[in-house]
Structure 1
């Protein structure tokens, strides 16, 4: 898929109805000859947009974005080479929670592709599912459930750890600034809950290990305490991993005790059912069995 197709598809399937700013910007790039000549093949829109925002560039005006990007391209390109899209969206806990709460308690959570580990605290956030609320603190994570009953309780978590090729430190302002830059510019509510979730994680930082998701997983899983249900989970991670590595990861995670909870690309699950519509969805699966379709930031969950 060429650069024009990547940005047109992003605008149409991911940003439409979710971020007017990024829908407009993606559509502009898809037809702009200057940017199409500049942007390397397979560059993820979220990575480019995040780096431009990190460097203080404009994203609300496509022409101003083009002028800034062309004028600062060496710095932008250098920044993109050393970074990856590490969106650490705590809102995704809202679609993980119904499954986590249903498993034998207490839980030992191990997140693959953990970024700064903000999704490792589902027991400490509050939730709103329509008129149903759970918890009384902040952040409050909202989601629309269709065909799924809202959980009655939050899980009991006694151990939390994560693996990432480049784990981020939630106590480091520079790392938090990168997480902030990855939030879509018109999502002010997500920026607020990032700050709130970061405060929770900084008060009790998780165990984060730098490593490959296949090679580092068995040793870290072995550290989970006896008597707790191990849950290896990931959200929107496998699209960054070469498909040739998926079978190895699947084999390793299925060989571990406990459960595997994937909220990720549907291609990871053989014979995945058709998505509800043309919007971008993750497929939530427990131990390889599809459970629900979810939107990328946890804002909706549609049971199967």
Structure 2
């Protein structure tokens, strides 16, 4: 038996929003106990019932999320408008902060790099060389937003990577020069996270000044052709962060088989169980952590927005 809608929202409240977004934690707990909202959500595909998507759509349409009762009234009254948005959109959270957990892995690879992001959204994860970072007392970089990461278990990076090519693949690539696309990216940022909203603005300006090569396509059918465009003389890195949980099991398996046949390296940052691994050490705590892996070898735990990374590999 699958996970119920109530369980999905209760888990989101406890493991993702708790300690990170009091507004979403309170709202998720309310939705978890609301049979009327459950009935509405069950009219859309299961993959489209997730909290981040529903909350983002309501925010995009101007609805309230800070008051559960007002949220319920809005959702019920505007369901005819909300439902098609749920069906037609995806949680394309394009969080530049995730570059802070990519950086320690990227620097282990021969430079320069050719970066290819699967599930790239607007491509803001393709600029790890253009951002600044703070790992404890260590500060790197002089441009872009400052990405802060609580890094343990490994020495903090002391330099930025050299990137000579950047490309992205997405079923629905977003453009930072399109106001509607930027509005959706903004709606996906959690209510209290003004630092992430400011980070989005700064990162979007970097991408707009030097747009990445974004392709509309499928992660299996269209990946080999994009890989073939990577320049010779650079280390190809195929990476994806919090993407594969949205991919149906059969396509996810096909991607796993395909990516092992492609040149270069692969970095995955996904929730446990999404990418197959053997035994993993315990996560730092009960909040949701992703597994950071290089070429199928797990290296570290990381929080979803890149705010913390706990290295466990030798």
Q: TM-score range by the shorter chain?
A: over 0.9
Q: Does 1:248 align with 2:259?
A: no
2-structure distance, mates of 1:8, 1:105: 44
Contact 1:264 1:283 in 2 (8 A): yes
Residue correspondence of structure 1 range 117-266 to structure 2 within 5 A:
117-266=123-272
Consecutive unaligned residues of structure 1, counting only runs of 5 or more, are none
Q: Displacement of 1:149 after TM fit?
A: 1.4
Residue correspondence of structure 1 range 41-52 to structure 2 within 5 A:
42=46, 43-52=49-58
Contact 1:262 1:283 in 2 (8 A): yes
Match of 1:4 in 2: 6
Taking structure 2 as the reference length, the TM-score comes to: 0.95
2-structure distance, mates of 1:281, 1:59: 25
Contact 1:269 1:290 in 2 (8 A): no
Partner of 1:127, secondary structure, is strand
Post-superposition CA distance 1:192-215 (Å, at most 9, x none): 000000000011110111111011
Match of 2:116 in 1: 110
Q: Does 1:96 align with 2:102?
A: yes
Match of 1:294 in 2: 302
Q: Does 1:73 align with 2:79?
A: yes
1-structure distance, mates of 2:72, 2:303: 29
2-structure distance, mates of 1:180, 1:272: 37
Match of 1:17 in 2: 19
- Which runs of at least 4 in structure 1 moved beyond 6 Å after TM superposition? none
Post-superposition CA distance 1:261-293 (Å, at most 9, x none): 001122113214043332111100000000000
2-structure distance, mates of 1:249, 1:37: 33
Match of 1:270 in 2: 277
- Give the number of equivalent residue pairs: 304
Of 264-273 and 106-115, more deviation after overlay is shown by: 264-273
Consecutive unaligned residues of structure 2, counting only runs of 5 or more, are none
Q: Displacement of 1:244 after TM fit?
A: 2.0
Post-superposition CA distance 1:82-114 (Å, at most 9, x none): 101100000000000011122100000000000
Post-superposition CA distance 1:118-140 (Å, at most 9, x none): 00000000000111000122300
2-structure distance, mates of 1:272, 1:175: 40
Contact 1:111 1:234 in 2 (8 A): yes
Contact 2:277 2:298 in 1 (8 A): no
Taking structure 1 as the reference length, the TM-score comes to: 0.98
RMSD: 1.0
